[in-house]
Structure 1
Amino acid sequence: TLDITLIPDFGQVRSDDKVLNLSPFEVKYGEARQFFTEGTELFGKAGVFYSRRIGGLPVDYYKVYDSLRTNETIDRNPQEAKLINASKISGRFANGLGVGFFNAMTGNTYAEALDTLTGNRRRLLSQGFTNYNMVVFDQNLPNNSYASIINTNVYRPDNSFVANVSATEFNLKSKQQTYSISGVGALSQRFADSVQRGFKSNLTLSKISGNFQWNIWNNIESKYYNPNDLGYLQSPNEFSSGVNLAYKVFEPFWKLLDFEANIQFSNSYLYSPRNFQNQAISLELEFTDVNNFTGNLATSYYPTYGYDYYEPRVEGHKFRTPRVFWIQWWGSSDYRKTIALDHSFSIWVADMFNQNGYYYSISPRVRFSDRVLTIYSWAYQLEHNNIGYYDYDGTNIFFGSRKLVTITNTLNVQFAFTAKSFLNIRARHYVRNYSYNQFFILNSDGTLSETNLVSSPNNMNYNLLNIDMFYQWHFAPGSELVFAWKNQVEDILDNPISRYFDNIEDIFQSPQYNSLSVKFLYYIDYQMLRKLKS
């Protein structure tokens, strides 16, 4: 299949479920752009392709602020690089060889600086022209096995930057489908002022049939392994391994249709130097009963003190993490019924700084008819004495203890007027706030010492509302008319708003961003035109 898009406008996609990120890692968002969700199975091999890199946040989005002159401010700074075109070709031959080629280009993206005294403006390049390439070869093998070779390449000619990742993925199964060995290997190379190379290997040996199953795995990521120019990896420099034991019942017994129990042991170290990170024991039970209710009970225990090498945000430092116990339950009733209910609850406690928290969610779904479905979701999370990075003054790294509250409210309504006419409305209200109650200085051994050097803490209340409404009419084969309305309200305050309905009042008093668009797509059959002409 061949798919090409030229100067695309992806304004008619669902809004991201944005969050207030307090972690040292980038948030990974799902893909909603149709071009990047259809016919992309081959490109998911080896986990080195993250489509949101294309047309995403410009690589120097934050660096433009360092280029400001006296009396200048950033007046405009696009959050998306402009996509010029994208194309993909994929298919599978009769001999089982699957082939995929992908290419995309983004144009120069500029921020705009404004001189507040003279009114003069100047452009600052936040990302130059960028070319993205990917090629995949995936060969089906006997016994439902496969082997793949993947290569990704990113090129930005304005600064002669090249990033290349070569990878392989395989899954080899025994003739009786009893055992398998699977793995991923990758080499990343980044060429700029200097050359930076890194590698990854992941190997898993499994027993995949019968009631009793198991797997043993090892994952290695070198310190400089970096696939993030076209992929996604939170943190490299890892040496981890583990074993998972499972008992599965596939035939109905008693009042259950199926049952599964898993226990896992894992250890994690830095790859270089080989420093300990954490150790965990996990247990999970899952079942489906005769009424098609599915339940899951999971628990994890970190029995030793560990070390987090990323939360300090300064290389060469570490933060000592506590022993933690966590338990979660979730349940889901039969979706075939008029009314169904999803729910979950979890709680965790740690043995340092009196840390604890809980989370619960409830999501009823009502099918009023074959044409109307409503899904509502409420989620609440509270963390007491959440410990995290606060600031760095060049000498000391400050940590803070905070009360952290997160509330997410989502409503999705789907109408099917006819078999070819649909309306989808989705509203999401997200609130996250925190207030500090204590501050610390990070010691060289990873422990914390209380300090009073922080006099005025930076508390925050983040308030976000998104409303997306899409109407689709498929008026002819391959042809459609789409109306889209998107509304976003975002507000950030210095002090937390404790009452939920006060947050609702605040969001409706804040400035709004509205987008209205229409897309008309008509499929022209070339063979039909030839017949009409003759």
Structure 2
Amino acid sequence: MSKLSSAALFFLIFFSHTAFSQKKTLQAKSITENITIDGKINEQIWESASIASDFIMFEPDNGKPINNDKKTEVKVLYDNDAIYISAMLYDNEPGKIQKEITNRDVFGVSDHFSVYINGFNDGQQDFRFFVSAAGVQMDCLATEDYEDFTWDAIWDSEVAITELGWVVEMKIPYAALRFSKADKQNWGLNFMREIKRDVQKYTWNRIDTKIGAVIPQAGILQGIENIQTPTRLFLIPYSSAYYQQSDIGSGITLKAGLDIKYGINDSFTLDAILVPDFGQTKFDNAILYLEPFEQQFEENRPFFTEGTDLFSKGGLFYSRRIGGGSTTELLLANEEETTNYPSTVDLLNAIKISGRTEKGLGIGFLNAVTEKTKATIKNNDTGEIRKEVIEPLTNYNMFVLDQRFNQNSSVSFVNANTTRNGDFRDANSSALLFDLNTKQNTYNLYGDFKYSVINALEDYDGFKTEIGFAKTSGKYRYGFSGKYVSENYDINDLGINFYSNYHNAYANGSYRIVNPIKLFNTFRINQYINFEMDNTSGKLQTGAFGTEIKARTLSNDALEFVVEFSPFKTYDFYEPREYGKYVFLPQKVFTAVNFTSNDNNPFTIILQPSITIFNEKDRNVYGLYISPKYRFNDRFSLTYVLEYFNKTNDRGWVDTDKTGIFFAERTRETAQHDFTGKYALNNKMTINLTARYYWSYSKNHEFFTLQDSGYLTPNSTYAQNKDRNFNSWNFDLSYSWWFAPGSEISILYRNYGLERASVVEKDLSKNLKNIFNSDLTNVLSVSIRYFIDYNSVKNKF
């Protein structure tokens, strides 16, 4: 090859790399005409708008230009109310476009088009809006760490399937976005197209998967100038009615309330909830819980899930603390018993303010107040009834400052405070966090310092600190971190933390392919080591080496293999339930396999067997997760899930008295059956079924006494019955109709019950009979919520 040809080749390669690396720019066009969102794109003004085209594959074959028969063209218009987006998604086989109708925020088996908007162009958070070929909307707040699909905005979209492919038209009001108050806006922007049948995703501005950060690789939207945004004030009144029936009796409950959303300016929003009603939120999964910690539940209340990304920073906020159950222990005389102990505490009101300044400073404030709650106690000798406060009037407060800079880095301060009326416990915790990335997003340095203070009968404080470093780009990546948690670190009044008084060292290294190879579309292997030591005794509580392999085959089946070795003797400092005590844990190896079939097929299955083998005679844990799903058509699907665990010769705490701490060798078996069904009448109206039956037992074989050395010695005198048999049943059948943007009518029939016993019953039919013969509760509820835009009301009057 001649020197001239070599130079030309070098220039071509370099130019191609540079072209891919450059940020594309799209000009938005100002309009005064009305745009009808109907999926037709027939307004004349669209003809003169700039076009975003030349999409590049994001995955699996990163960097490959889109084929001409799948070319994609997007345009953007704007006025003082919103931006308008049209997309023509060409497809040479429009009959094969996947378009399953799902619930809102559920992707399903569909082609998708999405727009990613970063109003501050700071490379750190996107507002993402998706629409499927079936017309179903999805939206989320996205950072590099997670996508929050609990956030729901009010926006409009329509789609149409044509002979050339499919068409999308969207209207995204400024109220659904956050941006600076500058006269000339400069937004981060990207578009993504997913072709489901080919399992391919394309973006307008190329996202190089060799770089770990996605959001900074967006293009630029320019041209939005001198907009006069309307007042952002939204009222969402609601009304609901409940009819509840059980063996105890029946009754009707009527509720009404109001949610308020007010845009303080284009960057900050106030959300308030008055007289909240969470009666139709998803049920909690009741289980047989024998662990030394409290059971952690998912948050299902919309106010505490929508737009709370700022408050999640630092891990000091566990929203189920607000309105959760009381932890107060009642002191009862021998002749007294509790006749009513409320399981939850009523939330009186809550507000949150969040947003970000033009210079990248995010500010978040959340405040909630819960009601004074009392338990009822009866004296069985005298018949006297008394009430005792188990949770006083309580104020919960969160405050967050998050400064972003350099398009990819941030420093944050977080404070969580819980103040209880009277002589009850108060708490305060704070965190200082930093997350620093190099300009090219190749290396990351992160860390934190957290401090907690408890004011109770005895005041105490504690801290936690961590620092880590990682290479975040390329095929080969690595990271390592260190952590120290003091003995009295306690954030559990508004956060949740199980482990304290230890130090930790962690390291990992990984390899991944970024383009398909002979056998796989994607492939990644990660190896890690993790050590934790108790601060007081110096004993090892975790010592593990692990390997994770994840791959997707050319036929788009997903495979995963995990193996973790714990070859050292370790000690559990929590299972004994007494400070300063610990129990020996034998060496073990854990392995699991995951197979997930290509979800383009009508019948799909997820299969996850696992096993843990201990270096102790006949002590093992067997697990199985299996989930077949059948999609009858684009409207109707059924899914079944079985989760099964069998712990043979498991050892755990059962009792403590004046003579010692007692453990048992036991068999534990758990089977959970979940059945879900979905029928979509259209993309705004669905019928959903969720049924769950859970059965678990613990059968003790032999008892032991815990020694100060951490080892167990046989105990032949302990005779308490600590066997457990637990049944739980939940059934939800619901109808949902989004009859207008942000407005919904929902009807829910709920049937539930649980049964606890100290006699183990292994016959499934008898367990089912027992649960259905228990005091089942039936609830029928109707709820209506209506979204009111202040500007629409103002214009009418």
**TM-score (normalised: structure 1):** 0.96
2:726 is equivalent to residue 462 of structure 1: yes
SS in structure 2 of the partner of residue 369 of structure 1 = coil
Contact 2:721 2:758 in 1 (8 A): no
Q: Supply the AA of the counterpart residue of 2:288.
A: L
Shift of 1:353: 4.2
Determine the structure 1 residue equivalent to 2:285.
17
Aligned 8 A contact 2:311 2:400 in 1:
yes
Structure 2 CA distance for partners of 1:208 and 1:416, relative to 1, 3 Å: same
- Shift in Å, 1:493: 1.6
1:200 aligned residue (459, 464, 467): 464
Return the offset for 1:295: 0.9
- Structure 2 counterpart of 1:426: 690
Partner residue, 1:156: 420
Q: How does 1:371-450 map to 2 (within 5 A)?
A: 371-450=635-714
For residues 150 and 470 of structure 1, the distance between their equivalents in structure 2, rounded to whole angstroms, comes to 39
Over the aligned positions, Cα root-mean-square deviation in angstroms equals: 1.5
> Counterpart of 1:46 in 2: which secondary structure?
helix
Contact 1:222 1:272 in 2 (8 A): no
Shift of 1:165: 0.9
Question: CA separation in 1, counterparts of 2:519 and 2:433?
Answer: 40
The answer to whether the aligner puts 1:27 opposite 2:291 as a matched pair is no
Three-state SS of the structure 2 residue aligned to 1:43 is coil
What residue in structure 2 maps to residue 43 of structure 1? Answer: 311
Deviation at 1:282, TM superposition (A): 0.8
Distance 2:312 2:656 in 1: 38
Give 1:161 deviation, angstroms: 3.5
Cα deviation, residue 214, structure 1: 0.7
- Cα offsets for 1:57-95 (capped at 9, x unmatched): 1131xx12x2x2353221111111110001111112222
Once residues 369 and 198 of structure 1 are traced to their aligned partners in structure 2, the CA distance between those partners, rounded to angstroms, is: 56
- Is 1:314 matched with 2:578? yes
1:173-322 aligned at under 5 Å gives the runs 173-322=437-586
Distance 2:322 2:721 in 1: 37
Q: Distance between the aligned counterparts of 1:180 and 1:244, measured in 2?
A: 14
Paired amino acid for 1:216: F
Find the residue that maps to 1:35 and give its secondary structure.
helix
Aligned twin of 1:453: 717
1:476-512 CA-partner distances (Å, limit 9, x unpaired): 2322212222221101122212132332222122110
Consecutive unaligned residues in structure 1, runs of 5 or more? none
What residue is the counterpart of 2:75 in the other structure? Answer: none
Q: Give the drift of 1:383.
A: 0.9
Q: Which moved more, 1:123-132 or 1:500-509?
A: 500-509
1:56 maps to what in 2? 324
Identity %, equivalent residues = 33
Q: Is structure 2 residue 270 aligned with structure 1 residue 6? A: no
Q: How many residues align?
A: 529
Instruction: Give 1:111's aligned residue.
Output: 375
2:230 maps to none
TM-aligned CA deviation for residue 376 of structure 1: 0.9
Structure 1 distance, partners of 2:504, 2:676, is: 40
1:141 aligns with 2:405: yes
Contact 1:222 1:238 in 2 (8 A): yes
Q: State the secondary structure of the residue aligned to 2:770.
A: helix
User: Greater strand percent: which structure?
Assistant: 1
- Secondary structure at 1:159 match in 2: coil
Q: Distance in 2 between matches of 1:337 and 1:58?
A: 48
Measure the CA separation in 1 of the matches of 2:510 and 2:658.
49
What amino acid maps onto 2:318 in structure 1? Answer: Y
- Indicate if the aligned counterparts of 2:539 and 2:570 stay in contact, CA closer than 8 A: no
Q: Which amino acid aligns with 1:418?
A: N
Amino acid at match of 2:650: N
Residue 127 of structure 2: aligned partner: none
Cα distance in structure 2, aligned partners of 1:469 and 1:392: 44
Following the alignment from structure 2 to structure 1, what is the Cα–Cα distance between the partners of residues 605 and 432? 41
Q: What secondary structure is seen at the aligned counterpart in 1 of 2:303?
A: helix
Amino acid at match of 2:730: N
Greater CA drift, 204-213 or 361-370: 361-370
Deviation for aligned residue 1:4? 0.9
Greater relative contact order (Cα < 8 A, sep 6+): 2
- Structure 2 CA distance for aligned equivalents of residues 413 and 483 of structure 1: 16
Task: Tell me what 1:344 maps to.
Answer: 608
Amino acid at match of 1:195: D
Segment drifting more, 422-431 vs 509-518: 509-518
Residue 736 (structure 2) aligned to one of 461, 472, 476: 472
Structure 1 contact 143–174 (Cα < 8 Å) conserved = no
Contact residue 143 and residue 173 of structure 1 kept, 8 A: no
Deviation digits for residues 134-164 of structure 1 (CA, Å, limit 9, x no counterpart)? 0111122215122211111110021163211
Q: How much does 1:267 deviate?
A: 1.1
Cα distance in 2 for residues equivalent to 1:438 and 1:93? 63
Q: What is the match of residue 590 of structure 2?
A: 326
Deviation of 1:338 after TM superposition, in Å, equals 1.8
2:113 paired residue number: none
Q: Distance in 2 between matches of 1:366 and 1:94?
A: 49
Distance change >3 Å, CA 208–CA 531, structure 1 → 2:
closer
Per the TM alignment, residue 273 of structure 1 is displaced from its structure 2 partner at its CA by: 4.3
Work out the CA distance in 1 between the residues paired with 2:568 and 2:789: 66
Q: Return closer, same or farther for 1:84/1:355 CA change in 2, 3 Å cut-off.
A: same
Q: What secondary structure sits across from 2:304 in the alignment?
A: helix
In the alignment, what sits opposite 1:485?
749
Deviations 1:230-277 (A, max 9, x none): 001112112111211111112100121111111111111112343322
The CA deviation at 1:12 is 0.8
Distance 1:188 1:149 in 2: 14
**Residue identity matched to 2:706:** L
Native 8 Å contact 1:489 1:513 kept in 2: yes
Classify the secondary structure of the residue corresponding to 1:272: coil
1:444 to partner: Cα distance: 1.2
Higher Cα radius of gyration: 2
Aligned mates of 1:123, 1:486 — CA distance in 2: 31
SS of alignment partner, residue 793 of structure 2: helix
Distance, in Å, in 1 between the alignment partners of 2:790 and 2:410 is: 38
**Change in CA separation of 1:283 and 1:133 when aligned onto 2, cut-off 3 Å:** same
1: distance between equivalents of 2:667 and 2:520?
Answer: 41
TM-score w.r.t. the length of structure 2 is 0.65
Confirm or deny that 1:363 pairs with 2:627.
yes
Q: Distance in 2 between matches of 1:235 and 1:282?
A: 21
Question: Partner letter of residue 444 of structure 1?
Answer: D
Where structure 2 has 5 or more consecutive residues not aligned to the other structure, the ranges are: 1-268
Post-superposition shift, 1:117? Answer: 4.5
Which residue identity is paired with 1:52?
R
CA distance in 2, matches of 1:3, 1:503: 46
- Worse-matched range after superposition: 252-261 or 137-146: 137-146
Residue 124 of structure 1 deviates from its aligned partner by 1.2
Shift of 1:516: 2.3
- In the TM superposition, what is the alpha-carbon distance from 1:410 to its structure 2 partner? 0.3
Cα distance, 1:454 vs structure 2: 1.6
CA distance in 2, matches of 1:513, 1:230: 31
Q: Deviations over 1:5-38 (max 9, x none)?
A: 1121211111111221111111111111111111
1:114 CA drift (Å): 2.2
Q: Counterpart of 2:482 in 1: which secondary structure?
A: strand
Partners of 2:789 and 2:720 lie apart in 1 by 67
Deviates more, 1:164-173 or 1:380-389: 164-173
Q: Is the 8 A contact 2:337 2:379 kept in 1?
A: yes
Pairs within 5 Å for 1:75-114: 75-114=339-378
The separation in 2 between residues aligned to 1:321 and 1:202, in whole angstroms, is 26
Alpha-carbon displacement from aligned partner over 1:196-227 (angstroms, at most 9, x marks no partner): 11111121110111111111111211100001
Corresponding letter in the other structure for 2:544: A
2:335 matched to 1:71? yes
